[in-house]
């Protein structure tokens, strides 16, 4: 089995090849969002991911409604293509099973509180790197193990607040606002995937694994563009500007007769073309709007003029005419319309297999096409299969279940 979906399998956005990461094995001890999102990215492209859940399960299985057969959409959205087993790794027998899984693993990823793995006798320096020299151990935590905030738990919204992201979202009427998507968690998942791939590449030369210290704090900070560069250069504290861009004008949301559209004009040529397409070529010659610097100073006057010009247009038609003529623009779509858009279907950005429906992989290869291979697993769905592959008999597996080491149902 190469992990690809059989050609005759019906669905959308399916993996038809083994994938660019075929042969890479990942033991995934993470829960919630950042870690599972990272391992789903890897699994979309062929990595074998074994999701090891604690006895109570990944808590986001409960983060609904909506639910499908007891699992929340929050879990379903980031856990496809994985096999699942449930272990109590705090017990010696559970620890032994984890170590057996690591014997053939390339990557271990976990998001326990710093010090937990060490407490269980599974620290990287003292144990894992000695026993498995080629293992890459990625830890995701809120703030890292040390420093003024070392060891404290991390949550997306709290890190949005503490890293400054919230301060530049919203505007002066709303004050700081949380981004509607969990940008720190998901960004940390993506940075972690990048780090793991870098470590796998370096291992080809050194033959050695290494430890990745990934934190929500660092990754939240890394997303502060262009606000941090602006501040470093001018010393002015960035403020939330809402939809408008702090550096570019016009770069904002505008109402039309039918819907809101967003214009993102990045240079003088695009602005002049915009003026021509809406029948106001003289606006581009107005000294107040002659270049981006002047437009920035006079953004209120320009915003009012454009809003007045757009109010009689069909927004979707206008946005399409603008972008087809070189002026970046698009209608502001709700999720249902965005996921149902023809280009979404063309790019296979909604994937379906059996009962499962989710957002497809954005990483498109010419030869090693990735995608959906299997729906997200039920709790401990593959536990018996995984243990048998490790050499356990059915009687031994039954004993592990009776001993509270392996679980088939979530512990309340």
List Cβ neighbours of 10 (8 Å cut-off, separation of 6 or more).
none
Phi, psi of 27, rounded to the nearest 5 degrees: -100, 115
Is 185 a residue of the active site? yes
Please state whether 305 falls in left (phi above 0), alpha (psi between -120 and 50) or beta. Answer: alpha
How far is it, in rounded angstroms, from Cα 412 to Cα 409? Answer: 9
CB environment 239-269: b (16+ within 10 A), e (fewer): ebbeebbeebbbbbebebeebebbbebeeee
Are the CB atoms for 117 and 110 separated by under 8 Å? yes
Q: Which stretches of 235-329 are DSSP H helices?
A: 268-277, 292-297, 299-310, 315-324
**DSSP secondary-structure letter at 59?**
G
Q: How many residues does the chain have?
A: 412
Phi, psi of 130, rounded to the nearest 5 degrees: -75, -40
Are the CB atoms for 387 and 400 separated by under 8 Å? yes
How far is it, in rounded angstroms, from Cα 273 to Cα 180? Answer: 33
Instruction: For helices 315-324 and 268-277, give the axis angle rounded to 10 degrees.
Output: 130
Are the CB atoms for 380 and 85 separated by under 8 Å? yes
Q: Which of 44, 185, 218, 252 is catalytic?
A: 185
Residue 222 CA, distance from chain mean position: 15
| DSSP SS3 for 99 | helix
List Cβ neighbours of 85 (8 Å cut-off, separation of 6 or more).
50, 51, 52, 53, 380, 382, 383, 386, 387, 406
Are the CB atoms for 265 and 271 separated by under 8 Å? yes
Active site residues: 185
């Amino acid at each position: 089995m190469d992990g690809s979906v059989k050609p005759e399998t019906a669905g959308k956005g399916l993996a038809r090849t083994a994938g660019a990461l075929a042969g890479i094995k990942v033991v995934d001890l993470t829960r919630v969002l950042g870690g599972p999102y990272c391992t789903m990215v890897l699994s979309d492209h062929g990595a074998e991911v074994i999701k090891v859940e604690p006895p109570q399960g990944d808590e986001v299985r409960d983060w609904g409604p909506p639910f499908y057969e007891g699992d929340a959409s929050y879990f379903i959205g980031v856990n496809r293509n994985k096999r699942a087993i449930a272990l109590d790794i705090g017990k010696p027998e559970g620890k032994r099973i984890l170590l057996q899984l690591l014997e053939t693993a390339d990557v271990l990823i976990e998001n326990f509180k710093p010090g937990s793995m060490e407490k269980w006798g599974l620290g990287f320096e003292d144990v894992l790197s000695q026993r498995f020299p080629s293992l890459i151990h990625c830890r995701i935590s809120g703030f890292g193990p040390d420093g003024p905030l070392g060891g404290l738990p991390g949550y997306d919204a709290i890190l949005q607040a503490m890293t400054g992201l919230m301060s530049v979202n919203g505007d002066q009427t709303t004050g700081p606002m949380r981004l509607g998507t969990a940008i720190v968690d998901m960004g940390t998942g993506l940075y972690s995937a990048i780090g793991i791939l870098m470590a796998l590449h370096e291992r080809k030369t050194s033959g050695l694994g290494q430890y990745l210290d990934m934190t929500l704090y660092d990754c939240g900070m890394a997303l502060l563009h262009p606000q941090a560069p602006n501040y470093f250069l001018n010393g002015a504290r960035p403020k939330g500007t809402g939809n408008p861009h702090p550096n570019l004008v016009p770069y904002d949301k505008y109402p039309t007769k039918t819907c809101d559209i967003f214009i993102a004009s990045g240079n003088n040529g695009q602005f002049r073309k915009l003026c021509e397409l809406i029948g106001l070529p003289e606006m581009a010659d107005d000294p107040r709007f002659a270049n981006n610097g002047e437009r920035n100073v006079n953004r209120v006057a320009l915003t009012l003029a454009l809003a007045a010009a757009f109010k009689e247009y069909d927004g979707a038609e206008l946005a399409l005419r603008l972008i087809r003529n070189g002026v970046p623009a698009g209608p502001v779509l709700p999720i249902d319309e965005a996921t149902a858009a023809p280009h979404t279907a063309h790019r296979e950005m909604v994937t379906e297999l059996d009962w499962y429906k989710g957002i497809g992989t954005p990483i498109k290869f010419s030869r090693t096409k990735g995608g959906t291979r299997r729906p997200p697993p039920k709790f401990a769905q593959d536990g018996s299969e995984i243990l048998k592959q490790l050499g356990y008999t059915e009687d031994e597996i039954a004993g592990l279940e009776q001993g509270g080491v392996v679980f088939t149902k979530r512990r309340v």
